[in-house]
């Protein structure tokens, strides 16, 4: 059995987006993405749940300081995504469709670079309370 | 004491919006609306709570059929607001800033016309789980 | 402005029920109550929210002891409703359709008798997270 | 590390049920199942969470279309379970006790047949906000 | 009908407290306050919901800027209450029992002084998800 | 694929605590633990989620009786932790810093001894809705 403990931190951001594939014509985009393809955009309150697993430090009893984890998420994710148009304002999605799946993978890649390799990382993203994704899938 | 019972129905919709006053210059809009003034829009999952008060019908035990109330909201509100850009796609906000306060008043006015005058009506709108509004204020 | 403080206590119970009017034929019951008229019953997790308003006691700082309020609800409501078939096991609904509206009024009447008249009482009942009722309507 | 992303869809249904083993006498059933053995049934609002894991499609950015997943659940699960008496109306439970564990396994088996084998599947079922089950256990 | 719109802002703080009346002996305090009278304190995550009602401003569409309301609560309430021992660290409770009722009245009095008299104010405080209070009682 | 089903039971308790390392001086404790190091303590509503995985019993359809699991948690965890000061009243933390990580490990060890070895066990502890931990990390 793993001796690792996982710590989770939840943050949120609001953003506009539109789902479409620029290589397809309008009819195909409408057929695949439906009302999510509104060219004027729609939006969501995204809830972001970041999971970091490791062995608690003997001196502090912390896997890592949650305040530090929260600050990392704020600096590297919320500053870039919050109150933005994902398609137009966020460079990661210049050529990538901002589905929940792709947003989660992007956030994982961003945070992976900020965390010591001794930690395991997983990202869960709620697009609505009824639709959410997780990467990597457990 | 009132013999009225209130029934509540919750629905939700997703939308993009931007807060600004077109009569003001950019600096004033930024000072007042901050990042909510992003010209490329941001968005929310709006939770809408509609309260209808009246005397339950003796035959049915219903104030009004919740299914009917849900259908009214879907037809007259969600069809117009869901997956839209409030500023660009929804005529009510052509000249009205789509703050949570104004959206709630607009939804109240829409639904008031659909309900028999014997019913009292109140609308609550959650823009985020931590920011919400109610009209008319109780 | 009222100097009253309201205290709220939430409890829950699970029950089966069926909506129908025995004076109507099957076709009418189906037309009015739809799948809620399943003769084999369906069921819900009911969340019950009881609000008691009064002036806090100077000695205790309590409007009333929440533990006592919880015990009153358990003894007089949950013992009668929880894990029951409302139509068949609960005498209040022998001749009364167990709609959320009627259940809330019945619970109000039960608890009103248990509370000193100096207290105001209001009952809110969640049949689902999206359908709920309140009596008396505020 | 897996390159799979998990997508989750939440749906809900209401149902009546009773827990008992027909091969046992009443005293044994009461001892084991307590008030869940009420012969007149009780009921729940079941929250169903379906997890599908796979590699996102490069063209769409979707693991699978959430709308399609929602439609599959509605057609194959909610149509059969919602507003029903699990013991009397749902053939899967003719000889199977409708515990949360068994309901989750049944729903897993139903949905497994509807999904391409390239996808992993897991089902979580909330019987109440405080009691829930998951199959297969992660 | 009021033309007022209510805006709500939710904040939270964590605190330790103990319920007891220093004019009573230990036996009486134990009888009235039970385990809430632990002399070593216990604690809660308090959720604070502040409601401000008024006429939306024609220029902004705001009753008041939620950001400003949030800042007022942070400065005047959270700075004083968060991560504190209410009995020992917060002067308001030197001679006042920190029941949820009394905490809500204190927070109301604090915020009332910070808000223009044209606004109505109400405070709701969740001590747990199942126990909460409201002042003034609506 | 595992044939195991996981059952989850949620319970809650309230407690006061303080984070610090007695081997460090005050300045170091303040630097590491910030306001969590308040010597007068602060507190939380802890939500505890216990996951037990196993093969459902053929006779009952239960992995294990949720009522029994709830009783075990109440007797061995809540009786010891609820409405207590973790640092001063709970012997497990005499020499162990009561971080969420350490509390979760302690609760795991307590419950592991109460459960048959055929069951897998995992503990999740919510210190706030935005900060939570899991042991062992999945």
The residues spanned by each domain of chain F are 5-135
Mean pLDDT, chain E, integer: 97
Answer whether F132 touches A (CB < 8 Å).
yes
Distance in angstroms (rounded) separating the CA atoms of residues E108 and E110? 5
Give the residue from D99, D29, D20 showing the smallest Cα distance to F63.
Answer: D99
Q: pLDDT for D64-119, tens place per residue?
A: 999 999 999 999 999 999 999 999 999 999 999 999 999 999 999 999 999 999 99
Contact yes or no for F83 and E40 at CB 8 A: no
Q: So what's the pLDDT on residue B2?
A: 78
Give the residue from A8, A135, A4 showing the smallest Cα distance to A69.
Answer: A8
Query: Under DSSP, is residue B66 helix (H, G, I), strand (E, B) or coil?
Result: helix
Give the residue from C9, C4, C123, C18 showing the smallest Cα distance to C65.
Answer: C9
Query: Under DSSP, is residue A36 helix (H, G, I), strand (E, B) or coil?
Result: helix
Q: Which residues contact D129 (CB under 8 A, 6 or more apart)?
A: C45, F10
Do F and E share at least 3 CB pairs under 8 Å? Answer: yes
Q: So what's the pLDDT on residue F131?
A: 97
Give the residue from E126, E47, E107, E45 showing the smallest Cα distance to C8.
Answer: E126
A35 within 8 A of B83, measured Cβ to Cβ: yes
Answer whether F28 touches A (CB < 8 Å).
no
The DSSP bridge pattern shows strands F5-17 and F42-54 to be: antiparallel
Mean predicted confidence (pLDDT) in E9-23:
97
Catalytic-labelled residue, pool A12, A42, A75, A83: A83
Q: Which of E12, E41, E129 sits opposite F41 (nearest CB)?
A: E41
Alpha-carbon distances, residue E6 vs B125, C95, E53, E69, F42 (angstroms): 10, 41, 4, 13, 32
* pLDDT band with cut points at 50, 70 and 90 for residue B5: very high
Mean pLDDT, chain B, integer: 97
| Chain D environment of F10 (Cβ under 8 Å) | 129-131
Q: pTM score, two decimals?
A: 0.96
E82 within 8 A of E17, measured Cβ to Cβ: no
Distance in angstroms (rounded) separating the CA atoms of residues D81 and D31? 28
D81 within 8 A of D111, measured Cβ to Cβ: no
Q: Out of 3.40.50.880, 3.30.479.10, 3.30.360.10, 3.30.300.30, select the CATH number for domain E5-135.
A: 3.30.479.10
* pLDDT band with cut points at 50, 70 and 90 for residue B1: low
| Percentage above 70 pLDDT, chain E | 99
Q: So what's the pLDDT on residue A2?
A: 78
Q: List active site positions of E.
A: 36, 83, 127
Distant-in-sequence contacts of D37-40, Cβ < 8 A, 24+ apart? D38/C83, D38/C84, D38/C85, D38/C89, D40/C16, D40/C84, D40/C85, D40/C88, D40/C89
Q: So what's the pLDDT on residue C2?
A: 78
Mean predicted confidence (pLDDT) in F1-10:
92
Mean predicted confidence (pLDDT) in D38-67:
97
Give the residue from E17, A111, A5 showing the smallest Cα distance to F99.
Answer: A5
Q: What is the pLDDT along chain C (138 residues), one digit of tens a residue?
A: 679 999 999 999 999 999 999 999 999 999 999 999 999 999 999 999 999 999 999 999 999 999 999 999 999 999 999 999 999 999 999 999 999 999 999 999 999 999 999 999 999 999 999 999 999 999
Distance in angstroms (rounded) separating the CA atoms of residues A55 and D134? 27
Answer whether E6 touches C (CB < 8 Å).
no
Q: pLDDT for F11-46, tens place per residue?
A: 999 999 999 999 999 999 999 999 999 999 999 999
* pLDDT band with cut points at 50, 70 and 90 for residue D2: confident
Mean predicted confidence (pLDDT) in E66-94:
97
Mean pLDDT, chain D, integer: 97
Q: So what's the pLDDT on residue A1?
A: 66
Alpha-carbon distances, residue F68 vs D102, E112, F8, F78 (angstroms): 18, 49, 12, 14
């Amino acid at each position: 059995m793993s001796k690792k403990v996982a710590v989770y931190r939840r943050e949120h951001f609001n953003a506009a987006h539109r789902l479409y594939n620029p290589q397809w014509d309008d009819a195909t985009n409408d057929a695949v993405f439906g009302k999510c393809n509104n060219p004027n955009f729609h939006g969501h309150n995204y809830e972001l749940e970041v999971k970091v697993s490791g062995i608690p430090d003997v001196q502090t009893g912390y896997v890592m300081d949650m305040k530090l984890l929260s600050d990392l998420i704020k600096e590297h994710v919320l500053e870039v995504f919050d109150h933005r148009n994902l398609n137009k304002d966020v460079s990661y999605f210049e050529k990538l469709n901002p589905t929940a799946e792709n947003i989660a993978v992007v956030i994982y890649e961003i945070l992976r670079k900020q965390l010591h390799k001794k930690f395991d990382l997983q990202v869960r993203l709620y697009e609505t309370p009824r639709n959410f994704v997780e990467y990597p899938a457990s």
